[in-house]
Amino acid sequence: AFWEMPAGARVGDIEIYRSLKHWINDGLMTLFFFVIALELKRELVLGELRNPRIAALPVAAAFGGMTVPAGLFSLLVGGGPGASGWTTVMSTDTAFVIGCLAVLGSRIPGSLRLFLLSLAIFDDVGAILVVAIGYGEALNWVALGAAGLGLAIVAGIARLGIRSIPVYFAIGGGIWLAFDASGVHATVTGVILGLMTPARRWVSDARLHAILDRVIAHPTGDRWNRDTAARSDLHRAGVATRESLPPVERLEMALHPWVAFVIMPLFALSNAGVPIGDANFDIPLTVAIFAAFVVGKPVGIVLFSFVAVKLRLATRPDELPLSLLAAGSLLTGIGFTMALFIAELAFEPALLNSVKLGVLGASVISAALGFVALTWLTSPGRR
């Protein structure tokens, strides 16, 4: 009852009220997808994924990790209850996968970490696009046009050199409201704006050093407190220091703690509960969810990765043997966040407990299997 409490605001004749759970799932989770899109943009523009053939490997793996589990789920469920919820098993929980790798520390090669991070981001973006298209309501073309206009304004002011974060945040809020009213799932706002965020810095290293040298050249004293050239140089140095980092990195650094320590726990608290005592479980549905994650995910990833490399569409790094890739792919059965998010949209309330039980069980088993396999493969004796 607490999560269903209405909250919102009224401005004149316009009122916007949603349940607390809706503000978390559709509002705060937009920031989660925004950070995911920032990570993807950074890797594609600044990271190792700039090489198309290297980027093709996690793309192919993500495609296999979405289609094979969905196919296995549909095969097991058939025409039974929940058959339309195949999108639930398409995604991977990025945070938990990277967390499992972090526990193993330096034993895990950077190539596997990058592969799994990129794969998880690609299939999360793919899943949210499916959600935006498949689980929206009847389209409101006026609201959709307003959202498109908002995105055009963002692109225009970026070209003009406006770099104020509050300005973009205000316009982004308007775009979110437009998508929310349009029938397209509002969380797609985070994905689009994240991919639109500039990945090039404004101030080069040479320019930054020149500005800082001017500040250092001033003698010490209280001249910073007066309206002098020294204070002007100090202010310019502050701006230059901030703008020497690309916007994607600055925003990612600023938002990541809020997403990790506030938004994700709130989402879990409001969505993950399963009343075991008085719940009626649909066992075939739970088993289908479990099998799709634990079996379908790693099989699809390994199969599509192998085929992509054999067809010379992608390149697999030398330090990432197929055995290590397969062990790491076991972790992708952890579908916690995105799976619960999509399940709320894809299934009838009567089936949600069965789905959640399958997701939670698959996440625990996938984490354990992946952790054990990676520990064994990276043990000192085998290395």
Which two tokens mark 271?
Answer: 């969505």
- Residue 227, pLDDT > 60, answer no
Q: Is 319 exposed, middle or buried (0-12, 13-18, 19+ CB in 10 A)?
A: exposed
- Residue 158, pLDDT > 60, answer yes
Cα–Cα distance, 99 to 29 (Å, whole number): 19
What is the per-residue pLDDT across 106-155, written as a single tens digit (0 to 9) for each?
Answer: 788 888 888 888 888 888 778 777 777 776 666 788 998 999 999 999 99
Mean pLDDT of 30-59: 86
Secondary structure of residue 306 in the 3-state scheme: helix
Tell me which DSSP letter residue 18 carries: E
Which two tokens mark 252?
Answer: 């990612």
Answer yes or no: are the C-beta atoms of 238 and 211 closer than 8 Å.
no
Neighbours of 135 (CB within 10 A): 15
- Residue 82, pLDDT > 80, answer yes
Cα–Cα distance, 19 to 59 (Å, whole number): 36
pLDDT of residue 221: 63
pLDDT of residue 325: 93
**Rounded alpha-carbon distances, angstroms, from residue 135 to 73, 87, 102, 191, 229:** 19, 10, 34, 16, 58
- Residue 260, pLDDT > 90, answer no
Which two tokens mark 284?
Answer: 């075939």
Cα–Cα distance, 226 to 286 (Å, whole number): 69
Cα–Cα distance, 216 to 219 (Å, whole number): 8
The one-letter code for the residue type at 120 is: A
Mean pLDDT of 192-200: 89
Answer with the residue of higher pLDDT: 253 or 233.
253
Domain coordinates of the chain in residue numbers? Answer: 2-136+248-378, 137-184, 205-241
Cα–Cα distance, 335 to 73 (Å, whole number): 14
- Residue 223, pLDDT > 60, answer no
Most confident listed range (48-57, 122-131, 304-313): 304-313
Q: Among 293, 282, 266, which Cα is nearest to 369's?
A: 293
Helix (H) or strand (E) holding 19: strand 14-19
Neighbours of 214 (CB within 10 A): 16
DSSP-assigned beta bridge partners for residue 55: none
Query: pTM value?
Result: 0.76
Mean pLDDT of 249-255: 90
pLDDT of residue 359: 93
Q: Assign 214 a pLDDT band (cuts: 50, 70, 90).
A: confident
Q: Among 68, 23, 45, 11, which Cα is nearest to 271's?
A: 23
Q: Which residues contact 92 (CB under 8 A, 6 or more apart)?
A: 65, 119, 120, 123, 124, 297, 332, 333, 334, 335, 338
Q: Could you say which of 3.30.390.30, 3.40.50.150, 2.60.40.10, 1.20.1530.10 is the CATH number of the domain covering 2-136+248-378?
A: 1.20.1530.10
